[in-house]
Structure 1
Amino acid sequence: MTVINDSPRRKELTRQAAQLFVQEGFDRTTVRMLAQEMGIKSGSLFHHFRDKQEILAAVIEEGTQNALAIARAALAECDNTPEARLQAMARAHLETLLTDRNAHVVALYEWRRLDPESRDHLSHLRDAYEALWEQVIDAALAANLIHGDRFLVARFVMGALNWTSRWYDPAGSRSPDDLAHELVAMITHDAS
C-alpha cells in the first residue's frame, strides 16, 4: 500500500488537506470541507483518494518521507562528530517543521486517527526516522557528550523540538540554527 503518488495535483490536494486538518482537526473535517478547500466537487475528491482516511495517510506519509529525506541529507553533509550530528538532526527536525509544518503537525496529533492498515503501513517510516535519532543519540552517549537513558533522551529532545510547532515564529529574531544550537547546548551542558 503506497498512499503517495507522483501526481502534482494529488500532492497539492494533500498539502491543502494537511492545512485543513491542522485548522479543524481530522474528526471535524468533512469531505465537503476538503473538497471546498481544494476547489473541487465532493465527488471529484474520490477521483484522487479512496476516502478521508486515505487523505490522512497521504498527508502523514508525504510529511514523514520529507522529514526522512531532510534528516538523511543533513547527516550526510555534516561532520561525523557526535556533536555535529546531534546539531544536524536538531536543525533538520526544525527545517521539517518550517518547510512542511502542516504535515508534521498532522502526523504528531492525528496519528491515532489512522486506521490499523494505514498505521501498519506508515509505521516503518516513523520507525526509520526515530532510528536516525537513536543512532545520533547513541553516538553522543558513547562519547559522553550527553548522559541519560537513550529512550528518554530521544523522547525529551523530539518532544521539545516538536513543541516548537506551537510557539516558534519564523519571522522572529531566532533562526532554526539558533534554536538547534541552543537545544544542543542545553542537553550537553555539564555532561562531561
Structure 2
Amino acid sequence: MNVMNDSPRRKELTRQAAQLFVQAGFDRTTVRMLAQEMGIKSGSLFHHFRDKQEILTAVIEEGTQNALIIAKAALEQCDNSAEARLQAMARAHLETLLTDRNAHVVALYEWRRLDPEARDHLSHLRDAYEALWETVIDEALAAGLIHGDRFLVARFVMGALNWTVRWYDPSGPRSPDDLAHELVAMITHRPV
C-alpha cells in the first residue's frame, strides 16, 4: 500500500478531506460531500484516490509524517539536556496540532475506522513517533527529572497534549511555548 503522493492537487484534496472528516466524521462523510468540498465531480475523486478508505489513510499518513518531521527537527535544534528535549517534544507536539490540526484530529478520532491493511501500513509511523517520545521520557527518567512508569508517563503526557485540540485557542493569551513550559513544569514539579 502506498498512499503518499507529492502531487500538490492530491495534497490539497487530502487537506480538504481532513477538514470535512473533522466537521462531519468519517462515517457520515460521503464521496459526494468530499467531491463537492473539493470542487470536483464524484467520479473525478477516484482519479486521485482508490476509495474513501484511501483518503482517510492519506490524511492520517500525511499528518503523522508531518508530526515526525516537526518532532525530529525540534530535537535536533535543542540542547541535549533531558529537560530541553522534553520541552522540545511538547512544543513540537503542540506545533503539530496548530499547523496540521485537522489531520491530527482525524488521526486521534478516526484511527479505528481504518481497515486492517491501512492500520498495518500506518503503524510504523505511529510507532516511530511514539518511540521519539519514549526516548525523551527515558532520558528524563534517567536524569531524575520525572518519576513513574515510562508507558504511563508517555500516555498521560501525550493524552494531555492531544486534548488541547478541544480547548486551546491559538489567538488566546497563551502561546504554544507557554503550554509546553507549563506541562513540563507540572510533570517535573518545577515552578513555571
Q: TM-score range by the shorter chain?
A: over 0.9
Superposed displacement of residue 99, structure 1: 0.2
Q: In structure 2, how many angstroms separate the alpha carbons of the residues matched to 1:80 and 1:143?
A: 12
Give the ranges of 4+ consecutive aligned residues of structure 1 lying more than 2 Å apart after TM superposition. none
Write the deviation string for residues 26-71 of structure 1: whole angstroms up to 9, x where unpaired.
Answer: 0000000000000000000000000000000000000000000000
Matches within 5 A, 1:110-149: 110-149=110-149
Q: 1:5: which partner in 2? A: 5
Superposed displacement of residue 4, structure 1: 1.2
Alpha-carbon RMSD: 0.5
* 1:48 matched to 2:76: no
Q: Percent identity between the aligned chains? A: 91
* 1:20 matched to 2:20: yes
* Corresponding letter in the other structure for 1:53: Q
Q: 2:64: which partner in 1? A: 64
Q: 2:189: which partner in 1? A: 189
* Corresponding letter in the other structure for 1:185: A
Q: 1:107: which partner in 2? A: 107
Q: Secondary structure at the match of 1:2?
A: coil
Q: In structure 1, how many angstroms separate the alpha carbons of the residues matched to 2:161 and 2:142?
A: 22
Q: 2:167: which partner in 1? A: 167
Q: In structure 2, how many angstroms separate the alpha carbons of the residues matched to 1:60 and 1:22?
A: 12
Q: 1:97: which partner in 2? A: 97
Q: In structure 2, how many angstroms separate the alpha carbons of the residues matched to 1:166 and 1:10?
A: 28
Superposed displacement of residue 84, structure 1: 0.1
Q: Secondary structure at the match of 1:5?
A: coil
Number of aligned residues: 190
Q: 1:154: which partner in 2? A: 154
Q: In structure 2, how many angstroms separate the alpha carbons of the residues matched to 1:172 and 1:3?
A: 36
Write the deviation string for residues 76-128 of structure 1: whole angstroms up to 9, x where unpaired.
Answer: 00000000000000000000000000000000000000000000000000000
Question: Which structure 1 residue ranges, 5 or more long, are not aligned?
Answer: none
Q: Secondary structure at the match of 2:73?
A: helix
Question: Which structure 2 residue ranges, 5 or more long, are not aligned?
Answer: none
Q: In structure 1, how many angstroms separate the alpha carbons of the residues matched to 2:54 and 2:26?
A: 12
Q: 2:86: which partner in 1? A: 86
Superposed displacement of residue 2, structure 1: 1.8
TM-score of the superposed pair, with normalisation by structure 2: 0.98
* Corresponding letter in the other structure for 1:3: V
Write the deviation string for residues 157-181 of structure 1: whole angstroms up to 9, x where unpaired.
Answer: 0000000000000000000000000
Q: Secondary structure at the match of 2:109?
A: helix
